[in-house]
Amino acid sequence: MTHCPCNLYKYVIPKLRLLLKKIISTSMKKSYKEYIITAEPFNVEILSSILWELNIDGIKEEVNCLKVFAQDELVTIQTIENELHHLKENKLLREFAVQENFIVERNWNEEWEKSREVVRVSDKIIIKPTFKEYETKPGEIVLTLDPKMSFGTGDHQTTKICLMFIEKYLKPRMKVLDAGSGTAILGIAAAKLGAKKVIAFDIDEWCFDNGIENTKLNNVGDKVEIRKCELKDIDEKDFDLIIANIQKNILLELADGFKERIKPDSILILSGLLEMDRESIQQRYSALGFVEIDYLKMDEWIGMVLKSV
């Protein structure tokens, strides 16, 4: 996948390295600094993406704030505020505030695991992390994930939107392309819902490794092929269904590539979008012969289903 030419790419949905990048796995009897961050708008994914660039040890999401934990002396209010100012300069934040406290002894990995829950996407699709128990009911498909550093834990609205569209539009024995696959949750869901073959690709090494691990966890390694590459490296041009949960600028960039690789009268699912992105996506893809046939909104996030002609 081509990188977005602007620095905003690292702030947005598709490849955010959420909530496990540097979490330590054992309790350490040391003092930690706790930073309480409030922001307007309060967008957890965007805030987390830049905070993980610092040498922090954990992030915990609260109702109206983020708590950031760090023991590195180089992580200070000033360094955090500098990162948040970058968001403000790029008009991704209007206001923010940072408060510093001192705490002692936490097991950040355990804290993070406690915050993860089994996610019910629909009557049929359930997502559970490896460390949670769930008794599968008749007719349900359970997606088991070890999210690590990849985006796509199932918590986010755009992931849920894509999964709901996959359930609605995927037909048995389809050939599927999962673009910007992250944890490979969407490709795995497609395989479990009856796809014949899925190619899931990402430019990120961690996503590549995590995707392979998750396909094994879900016993779909024979159907889902994980690749570390860009769209231009995908030679196949006969996909019945393409899924892309990626930020707007990237979706605009990749439009021609999707058109070249999708069969006529086939389905393209797009998300990672805000309501304000819809018009530009419609214009770009309609010029290539795509027609919007479905639309779904969750909070401020949207997903679109387009049909190739």
Are residues 144 and 58 part of one domain? no
Domain edge (last residue) among 106, 136, 167? 106
Are residues 240 and 142 part of one domain? yes
- Structurally, the chain folds into a number of domains equal to 2
CATH code for the domain of 268: 3.40.50.150
| Residue 141 is assigned to a structural domain of this protein | yes
| Residue 97 is assigned to a structural domain of this protein | yes
Q: Which residues pair with 298 in a beta bridge?
A: 301
Are residues 181 and 40 part of one domain? no
Q: Which residues contact 156 (CB under 8 A, 6 or more apart)?
A: 13, 45, 301
Are residues 254 and 230 part of one domain? yes
> Residue 40: is its pLDDT beyond 70?
yes
Determine the pLDDT at residue 204. 86
CATH code for the domain of 33: 3.30.70.260
- CA-CA distance, 155 to 106, in Å (whole number)? 24
| Residue 11 is assigned to a structural domain of this protein | no
- CA-CA distance, 305 to 160, in Å (whole number)? 14
Lowest mean per-residue pLDDT among 60-74, 159-173, 239-253 = 60-74
Are residues 209 and 241 part of one domain? yes
pTM summary value? 0.69
Are residues 82 and 55 part of one domain? yes
The string of pLDDT tens digits covering residues 156-203 is 899 999 999 999 999 999 999 999 999 999 999 999 999 999 999 999
Domain edge (last residue) among 106, 135, 164? 106
CA 4 to chain centre: 16
Determine the pLDDT at residue 202. 94
Structure tokens at 124: 């049929």
Determine the pLDDT at residue 155. 77
HEC-encoded secondary structure of 214-278: HHHHCCCCCCEEEEECCHHHCCCCCEEEEEEECCHHHHHHHHHHHHHHEEEEEEEEEEEEEHHHH
Are residues 97 and 77 part of one domain? yes
Lowest mean per-residue pLDDT among 146-155, 171-180, 282-291 = 146-155
| Residue 180 is assigned to a structural domain of this protein | yes
CA distances from 157 to 27, 194, 202, 270, 271 (A): 32, 23, 20, 13, 9
Are residues 159 and 300 part of one domain? yes
Structure tokens at 41: 């708008």
Q: Which of 176, 165, 175 minimizes the C-alpha distance to 294?
A: 165
Mean pLDDT score of the chain, rounded to an integer?
A: 85
| Residue 17 is assigned to a structural domain of this protein | no
| Residue 22 is assigned to a structural domain of this protein | no
The parent domain of residue 237 ranges over: 116-308
Q: CB of 12 within 8 A of CB of 147?
A: no
Q: Could you give the angle at which helices 44-51 and 77-89 cross, rounded to 10 degrees?
A: 130
Q: Which of 147, 153, 119, 122 minimizes the C-alpha distance to 134?
A: 119
Q: What are phi and psi of 298, to 5 degrees?
A: -130, 115
| Residue 12 is assigned to a structural domain of this protein | no
Are residues 133 and 238 part of one domain? yes
Structure tokens at 255: 């439009």
How sure is the predictor about 147, in pLDDT bands with cuts at 50, 70 and 90?
Answer: low
Work out the number of other CB atoms within 10 angstroms of the CB of residue 294.
15
Calculate what percentage of the chain has a pLDDT beyond 70.
84
Residues 100-121, mean pLDDT to the nearest whole number: 70
Highest mean pLDDT among 88-97, 126-135, 204-213, 252-261: 252-261
Q: Which residues contact 182 (CB under 8 A, 6 or more apart)?
A: 14, 15, 150, 151, 152, 202, 207, 210, 211, 245
Are residues 167 and 57 part of one domain? no
Domain edge (last residue) among 71, 106, 141? 106
Are residues 47 and 161 part of one domain? no
Q: Within 13 Å, how many C-alpha atoms sit on residue 9's CB side?
A: 13
| Residue 111 is assigned to a structural domain of this protein | no
Are residues 93 and 123 part of one domain? no
Q: Which of 167, 171, 130 minimizes the C-alpha distance to 266?
A: 171
